[in-house]
Chain A
Amino acid sequence: GAVVSQHPSRVICKSGTSVKIECRSLDFQATTMFWYRQFPKQSLMLMATSNEGSKATYEQGVEKDKFLINHASLTLSTLTVTSAHPEDSSFYICSVLLAHLNEQFFGPGTRLTVL
């Protein structure tokens, strides 16, 4: 499978600030990556599909201006939570798609806490 890293693993920020989360595919060039959000004791909710070199595709109800996604290379996608508020506190997880197998491999996640 693919090895996926995320940075930072956890971040605490003040309300109103912006936070950038990086997702890297360490051993595989990924044209497609995904960003998920997971609240405590809940399932993963797909936020957006990140496509290298093009605009991300957002799921219904996800504000694209609040959650900025940049997939500038085949190994890096970033999620920026702009003007974060306490309700944005969550566990954010990215994954990479191995297209030939239609399999997704997940990063370790980033715990965001907005005070």
Chain B
Amino acid sequence: QQQVKQSPQSLIVQKGGISIINCAYENTAFDYFPWYQQFPGKGPALLIAIRPDVSEKKEGRFTISFNKSAKQFSLHIMDSQPGDSATYFCAASWANDMRFGAGTRLTVKP
């Protein structure tokens, strides 16, 4: 059972554009929603995370929008750069149980 659904599977954006990745979850017990960035051959790195008591969190060019009633959250990358090209995973966690989305392969074209 896929508890976290992520879309799109792949995304191509021009340099300077906005990259948007969406996730939806099913388990209302989830209380922590991180986004991870993974480069080929490397482990995932925590990018930004949000808890359900806020609807938006911004760190630099990265913003998470969270809609608790819709059980959806999204990652916005402003002014996308070629160095942002990577695979992005959303996740949802409760207690020690973290479930990952399928991943989005982002390519930012110069």
Contact = CB atoms under 8 A, between A and B. Distances in A.
Interface residues of B, number: 22
B32 A42 contact: no
Interface of A: 1, 4, 6, 32, 34, 41-44, 46, 49, 91, 93, 95, 97, 102-109, 111
Contacts of B36: 106
Interface in B79-110: 89, 93, 95-96, 98-103, 105
B42 A109 contact: yes
A93 B43 contact: yes
B90 to A, nearest CB: 10
A43 B32 contact: no
A108 B103 CA distance: 18
A46 B98 contact: yes
Q: Which 4 A-B pairs have the closest CB atoms?
A: A106-B43, A109-B43, A108-B43, A106-B44
Contacts of A43: 89, 100-103
Contacts of B41: 91, 109, 111
Given A43-B89, A44-B89, A104 B98 contact: yes
B45 interface: yes
Contact of A42 (B34, B93, B103): B103
A111 B41 CA distance: 8
A103 B105 CA distance: 23
B41 to A, nearest CB: 7
B46 interface: yes
B96 A93 contact: no
